[in-house]
Structures are given as structure tokens and as C-alpha cells.
Structure 1
Amino acid sequence: MLSPLSPRLLSTVLAVALSAAAAPAALAAPQEAPRAPGKEGAPEAACKHAVKAALPNPASFKWVGATARQIDKDHYSVVADVEYLAQDGAVREAMVQCDVRREQGNRFAVPKLRLPQ
């Protein structure tokens, strides 16, 4: 017997169905996100942008929370909890990790990204 779908799962499935025409993003180069002057969350924002582009079904991606740790002057490690719709249609929760570095012009790049298997 099938259990009723939760409203959250139903809305996620509907969002994925509506965005089925979206092409998967390739990560040929490090992902960059602009940094607003004085904004503290820039390493997290760069990681969020890179993870969203790398996971399947980016329209159903949800950033739950993150912790950024400064490794040295221009390098950060960001660990985040995310929810996403896997290719098999199941909603999954996972931890991801990004190595983030500050580049010229107050931009942040993500040279290394660790996604769930």
C-alpha cells in the first residue's frame, strides 16, 4: 500500500517535472561567485553556487545550512548540509564540502568539491 505523499515531496517532484528541460551544468572550470564588499558569507555563497551546479536537478536543490572555516589568509573550507532530488526521483539529504579560495577582485573560486556518491 502506498503512503500519501507529503506536500513537501509533492512540490519537489512537481518542480523537477516542470524543469525537466534544464540541461546539467558542467564543472570544467572552478565556479566563482562575486563577493559583495564587507559580506561575511561569500565563501558559503561560492560553495552553494558550485554545489547547485554540480548536483542533478538543480531546480530542486535546497541549502539547509553551512559552516565555513578559514584555513589561512585566502583559503576556506565550507561544510554544508543539502537536500536534493536524485536521478532516481528520491529526495536525499547529504553533506558536501568545498575548498574555497579568494582570488583577485574579491572573487571566490571553488577548486575542489566533494559531493555525495
Structure 2
Amino acid sequence: MLSPLSPRLLSAALAVALSAGVPVALAAARQDASRPAAREGAPEAACKHAVKAALPNPGSFKWVAATARQIDKDNYSVVADVEYLAKDGAVREAKVQCDVRREQGNRYAVPKMRLPH
């Protein structure tokens, strides 16, 4: 027959179990607080996909470098250097700019692009 645990032993075991979980919970809360609200690089990726689709010869498109700046909580400006194959067959280098907006569910839309002529 099993002997019942004394209330004192049960209280001690409960206190140890709870105190072990506190540092883990604090560490998780700190990590969540330091994590940016959006995935890092998501505005750049949205701009990259939109520019690639808008320029001629998307198979010859190269994203060289980009800088994203957060305008306000849900709006970003992305400026990038790209290389692409123009309609005349020449490889061109250009700067592009995208206005990127975060939408519901951490999805990103590009309402406006400034492409080379």
C-alpha cells in the first residue's frame, strides 16, 4: 500500500517545481521582448519579388544590395541596387525604391515602386 505524501513534502516539491520554471519563463519573455515585431528582411524580400516581376527578363535579375528604413509602425522604404538584362540585351545596373506596407498576418505589400526607365 502506498503511503500518502505529507502536506509538507508536497508543498516543498511544488515550490521546487515552480521555482525551476521561473527562470525559463523569464528568459522566454526577455527573448520575445527583444525580437522585432516583423521578420527581419521581410520588407526587402517583398520589394525584391515585386521588382523582379516588374523588370524585363526576370531570369537575369540580380539583387545586389538593399537598405530598409522603417517609416512608422507598418511602413518601410526599401532602396536597392539591382542588375538586370534590359530589353535591348544589355546588362544594366540601377537603383530601385519600394514603399512596403505590413498587412494583417505579417504579410507585406508593395503599393509603390520606383523603377529605372
Deviation at 1:116, TM superposition (A): 0.2
Tell me the secondary structure at the aligned position of residue 51 of structure 2: helix
Query: Which of structures 1 and 2 has the bigger CA Rg?
Result: 2
Tell me the secondary structure at the aligned position of residue 52 of structure 1: helix
Q: Specify which structure has the bigger relative contact order, considering alpha-carbon pairs within 8 angstroms and separated by 6 or more residues.
A: 1
Percent of counterpart pairs with the same letter? 86
Q: CA RMSD in A?
A: 1.1
Partner amino acid for 1:105? G
**How many aligned residue pairs are there?**
81
- Residue of structure 2 in register with 1:73 after alignment: 73
- Residue of structure 2 in register with 1:47 after alignment: 47
Deviation at 1:82, TM superposition (A): 0.1
Deviation at 1:38, TM superposition (A): 5.6
- Residue of structure 2 in register with 1:28 after alignment: none
Unaligned runs of 5+ in 2: 1-36
Mark the CA change 1:48 to 1:106 in structure 2 (over 3 Å): closer, same or farther.
Answer: same
Tell me the secondary structure at the aligned position of residue 88 of structure 1: coil
TM-score, scaled relative to structure 1: 0.68
Alignment of 1:20-99 (within 5 A): 39-99=39-99
- Residue of structure 1 in register with 2:111 after alignment: 111
Distance 2:39 2:105 in 1: 14
State the Cα deviation string for residues 41-93 of structure 1 (Å, max 9, x = none).
00000000000000000000000000000000000000000000000000000
Distance 2:39 2:69 in 1: 15
TM-score, scaled relative to structure 2: 0.68
